[in-house]
């Protein structure tokens, strides 16, 4: 991988396309490197999503253990697995760029007009304490809000990001969360 990265450095003149995740492909997401062309938006997106996703993983873990409905528990478990790998990858990319993997303060894209994020510690705590009979509805509604917010963050990256792999990742975030939203709405009302 070092050779690949070096090659890329040599060929990177700002506008050159980022390398494909090469054919001599990495065997795990942890080995995927982002490449050295990036801007502030890429960093911001990854930092925001790392924080957001850590909350999401907390929620998914509660969902996986408390949901009585198999379909809801399966979704929570699948999210847990995929997002755990994504989290590792995002942190690696930030580290690769020499950037912190944490944010100073959690922000909402609505903060300019006083909106708190959809997910705070209070929401996560409520999932632990809500009655069993109300758990599925509570989990689905809170996780819907959470994944809608991830789509919004991904769109920020797609608008102004520079790093090709980060933009590809943002597209996957947008698609997967949008489809999860669809699934969750069906689970709520099916």
Partner 1 sequence: MRRKIAYPLAALGMAGSTLVIASPALAHGYVSSPPSRQAQCAAGTVKDCGAIQFEPQSVEAPKGSKQCNGGNASFTVLNDESRSWPATTVGTSVKFNWVLTARHRTASWVYYVDGVEAATFNDNNAIPEAIVSHTVDLSRFPGKRTVLAVWNIGDTANAFYNCVDLNIGGSGGSTPTTAPTTAPTTAPTTAPTTKPPTAAPTATTVAPTTAAPGGSEWAPGVSYKTGDVVTYNGVSYKCRQGHTSIRSWEPSIFTLALWLPL
- What angle do helix axes 70-96 and 164-189 make, rounded to 10 degrees? 160
149 in contact with partner 1 (CB under 8 A): yes
190 in contact with partner 1 (CB under 8 A): yes
Dist. CA 64–CA 75, nearest whole Å? 8
Q: How far is the CB of 11 from partner 1 (least distance, A)?
A: 23
Cα torsion angle, 121, 83, 20, 1, sign: positive
Residue (13 or 190) nearer to partner 1, CB: 190
Binding mask of the shown chain, residues 44 to 83, with x at each position contacting partner 1 by CB under 8 A:
x--xx--------------------xxx--xx-xx--xx-
- Calculate Rg over the CA atoms of the chain: 18
Nearest alpha-carbon partner for 143 in 69, 62, 23: 62
Q: How far is the CB of 183 from partner 1 (least distance, A)?
A: 6
Q: How far is the CB of 10 from partner 1 (least distance, A)?
A: 25
4 in contact with partner 1 (CB under 8 A): no
């Amino acid at each position: 991988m070092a050779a690949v990265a070096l090659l890329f450095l040599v060929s990177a003149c700002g506008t050159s396309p980022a390398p494909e995740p090469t054919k001599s492909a990495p065997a795990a997401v942890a080995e995927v490197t982002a490449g050295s062309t990036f801007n502030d938006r890429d960093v911001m997106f990854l930092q925001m999503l790392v924080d957001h996703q850590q909350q999401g993983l907390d929620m998914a873990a509660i969902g996986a253990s408390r949901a009585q409905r198999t379909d809801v528990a399966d979704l929570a478990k699948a999210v847990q697995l995929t997002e755990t790998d994504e989290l590792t990858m995002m942190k690696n990319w930030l580290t690769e760029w020499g950037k912190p993997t944490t944010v100073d303060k959690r922000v909402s894209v609505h903060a300019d007009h006083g909106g708190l994020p959809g997910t705070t510690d209070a929401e996560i705590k409520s999932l632990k304490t809500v009655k069993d009979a109300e758990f599925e509805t509570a989990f689905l509604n809170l996780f819907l809000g959470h994944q809608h917010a991830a789509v919004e963050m991904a769109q920020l990256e797609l608008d102004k990001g520079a790093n090709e792999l980060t933009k590809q990742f943002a597209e996957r975030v947008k698609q997967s969360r949008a489809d999860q939203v669809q699934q969750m709405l069906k689970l709520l009302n099916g």
